[in-house]
Structure 1
Amino acid sequence: MAETKTLVLNHKQIEQKITRIAYEIYERNLSEEGVVFAGIAGMGYRLAKMLSDKLKEISPLPVELMEVKLDKNAVVQGEVTLSADLNLGNKSLILVDDVQNTGKTLAYALKPFLEMPLKKMEIAVLVNRSHKLFPVTPDYTGFELSTTLNEHIEVDLESAQNTVHLH
């Protein structure tokens, strides 16, 4: 039996969500010296890149981008590393992932930043499934989606037609 997929967000809707989130980030960070997007490896990094590009387009804020590398299947045992060593002192850090399920990946992705002097940290996700098991709540959410834990969200931000499917 073929697995059925339900289109949740199409390319145009994803673009709209990214634009809206970028404007919200700009509004909340007007007085900051800059914004650093830290995207979780995979689709989180791709989303961070899209958000950083949009923020550069709509604002004069200095924008930087880094990747947070971790094994999503072994976040407890695995090491969390950053692709860049940036000065985050008076900048706003925004941790980005494509989907928040339980908050576990985002919670472990915070680890390297807890040892750095930060002025402010926020979290942005494209889809929040609201199955919160860890005390992590996104500041910016593109789409809230109530699902069962058995259902799977598939985010594709690499093809010409970006999509989000539920199956």
Structure 2
Amino acid sequence: MLAEKSFILDADQVKQKIRRMAFEIYEHNFKEKNVVLAGIEGQGYVLARLLAKQLESISPLEIKLVKISIDKTAPQQSEITLDCDLKDIRKRSIILVDDVLNTGRTFTYGMKPFLSIEVKKIETAVLINRSHPLFPVHAQYVGYELSTTIKDHVEVNLTKDTMAVYLH
């Protein structure tokens, strides 16, 4: 039996959340010349790309977009890679981006590549924060706080034509 989907955010609401998050990121990084948005492969990277576009439209920040490849089902066994050279992001402010923050596991493992270089700071941004922390990870930039049970599933779709968030 398929679980029914509950509609959480429509396309306009998602766009509004992303724009607000971009303003918050700029407010906290206005002294920087450039910022790295490192998106977790999949919807996290799509969100990072959308945030980068918003930041470029509202600020003078130079944005470097980076994709983090990680096996979310077995992060401790998988190699975690970036689609750029680490030397290109040294001494920069890094913002890890994912669509949903649930337990913090993906963010914790997603930080691994950045721990081998000197960075100014590492912050986190998520569209949906479910608040079931098992790891000491807190999102600085949150589009929407959503109280769920651990068994619930949040579906984020950030494609242009069908942008929405659902709860199963």
**TM-score normalized with structure 1 length:** 0.97
Q: Is the 1:34–1:90 Cα contact (8 Å) retained in structure 2?
A: no
Pairwise CA distance, 1:91: 2.5
Separation in structure 2 between the aligned mates of residue 92 and residue 114 of structure 1, nearest angstrom: 13
Q: 2:118 aligned with 1:103, yes or no?
A: no
What does the per-residue CA deviation read over 1:111-139, in whole Å, with 9 as the maximum and x for residues that have no partner?
Answer: 00000110111100000000000000011
Pairwise CA distance, 1:56: 0.4
Amino acid at match of 1:94: I
Give the structure with the larger helix fraction: 2
Pairwise CA distance, 1:2: 4.2
Q: Which residue of 2 aligns with 1:112?
A: 113
Separation in structure 1 between the aligned mates of residue 91 and residue 113 of structure 2, nearest angstrom: 17
Separation in structure 2 between the aligned mates of residue 3 and residue 136 of structure 1, nearest angstrom: 29
Q: Is the 1:9–1:165 Cα contact (8 Å) retained in structure 2?
A: yes
Q: Is the 1:33–1:90 Cα contact (8 Å) retained in structure 2?
A: no
Separation in structure 1 between the aligned mates of residue 144 and residue 3 of structure 2, nearest angstrom: 23
Q: Which residue of 2 aligns with 1:5?
A: 5
Runs of 4+ in 1 over 6 A off after TM superposition: none
Q: Which residue of 1 aligns with 2:132?
A: 131
Q: Which residue of 1 aligns with 2:151?
A: 150
Q: Which residue of 1 aligns with 2:90?
A: 89
Aligned residue-pair number: 167
Structure 2 residue ranges without an equivalent (≥5): none
CA 1:56–1:71 in structure 2 vs 1: closer, same or farther (change >3 Å)?
Answer: same
